[in-house]
Amino acid sequence: MAIRARCPEPDTFTRLQVNWLDHSGRSDGVSLIPVKCTDQWADYSTILKAPPEAASGQFYVTGHTEKPVLIQHTSMTW
């Protein structure tokens, strides 16, 4: 999972998150990594391991607090 983002306010975190789903569409766990971001555009990435029964994942990139996060690009490879 990779994003390009910037945070205009100091001490801001963005969230790299996948909500995993099983074959029936039920929740199969959550992978969540808070990442401190800067006021300059930068690339952030992580490797998340899907649970053994996961059939799909919902990819979220949001602010981790109420402070704004600007997202320029997202990508995820399964």
Asked if residue 17 lies in contact with residue 35, where contact means CB atoms within 8 angstroms, the answer is no
Half-sphere exposure of 52 (CA within 13 A, CB side): 0
Residue 39's pLDDT is what?
Answer: 96
With 80 as the cut, is the pLDDT of residue 2 above it? yes
Residue 21's pLDDT is what?
Answer: 97
Query: Which residue's entry shows tokens 């306010």?
Result: 9
Q: What percentage of residues in the chain have a pLDDT greater than 70?
A: 99
Residue 76's pLDDT is what?
Answer: 85
CA dihedral of 44, 35, 57, 53, whole degrees rounded to 10? 110
Beta-bridge mates of residue 14: 35, 63
Q: Where are the domains positioned within the chain? A: 2-73
